[in-house]
Amino acid sequence: MTSQEEKAEAFRELHHKDRILILPNAWDVPSARVFENEGFPAVATSSAAVMVSLGYPDGELISRHEYLAAVKRIAKVLSIPLSADAVAGFGRTSAEVASTARGLIRAGAVGLNIEDFEHSTKRLFTARSHVEKIKAIKKTGEAMRVPLVINARTDALRYATGGSSARFNEAVDRAISYRDAGADCVYPMGLVDLDQISSFVRALDFPVNVMVRKGLPPVKDLERAGVKRLSFGPSASYAALGLLRRISKEVRGTGTYGSLLEGVLTFDELNSLAVPKA
């Protein structure tokens, strides 16, 4: 893969294989390169991990410019496709979201994740407005000849009104409308129960993304249920920072260094993560 267009098409094709696409989420250059070196066919960013690494909470308090600069740094060292978590698109209008999509293409991304809720209020946008944003992203990719792979996330399971059944039905209805608007994959945030995952996949008959979290079934079960994409979300950053905390507790508490020295990279390996893979 040499061109951005080729990377985009290769990334899209990964959503239609018999085996599930396991998509790790990075937050900076070295974490992305570690995932590439370990053989993952593509990498995504985690909005929460990226934002926190730059001194912001998850959401859109970071400027679009600073966010895009972070994506560009990661994209320039990868030889595999990069999908960026664009939160809610850094804008309430389709035109503003299209501007973000253009920036992501210029930064080197070939896919994006976009949410249908507002972080500051925890309220869902209307399905219609999210459909218009998806259409605008699609048109932007076509105009720039980089067919962005759109992962349309819905948070209806968390923030829709009604009981659990009503929220599930709302998530399905929204996902269908996002699929029909041109999304390449749909992402029902919070779905972990295998029976519900299977029902959701059957209702969509379309690539579905689930995220690693407590209670999620193993990969083999997800594959049997028809899930096409499994993302890490911020879990890798949780694990990495959890290790730093354990290291700190060990050194301060016992004066030993086992956690700090076990399974580590060498100095040369660390430096190699800052340059594209040969």
Residue spans of the domains in the chain: they are 4-234
Tokens 């059944």 -> residue: 165
Tally of residues, the chain: 278
Enter the tokens of residue 168: 């599930």
Say if strands 25-26 and 111-115 run parallel, antiparallel, or are unpaired.
Answer: unpaired
- CB environment 112-151: b (16+ within 10 A), e (fewer): bbbbbbbbeeeebbebeebbbbbbbbbebbeeeebbbbbb
- pLDDT for position 118: 94
Determine the Cα–Cα distance for residues 107 and 112; give it in Å rounded to an integer.
12
- pLDDT for position 277: 84
pLDDT for residue 121 is more than 70: yes
pLDDT for residue 64 is more than 90: yes
Tokens 């966010």 -> residue: 67
Enter the tokens of residue 109: 């991304």
Determine the Cα–Cα distance for residues 201 and 125; give it in Å rounded to an integer.
23
Q: What are phi and psi of 243, to 5 degrees?
A: -65, -40
Q: What are phi and psi of 56, to 5 degrees?
A: -125, 150
- pLDDT for position 1: 55
> Mean pLDDT over all residues of the chain?
97
Enter the tokens of residue 115: 């949410």
Span 85-103, mean pLDDT? Answer: 97
Contact 44, 111 (CB under 8 A): yes
Q: Could you tell me what percent of the chain has a pLDDT over 70? A: 100
The CA-CA-CA angle for residues 136, 139, 145, to 5°, reads 140
> Is the domain 4-234 a CATH 3.20.10.10 member?
no
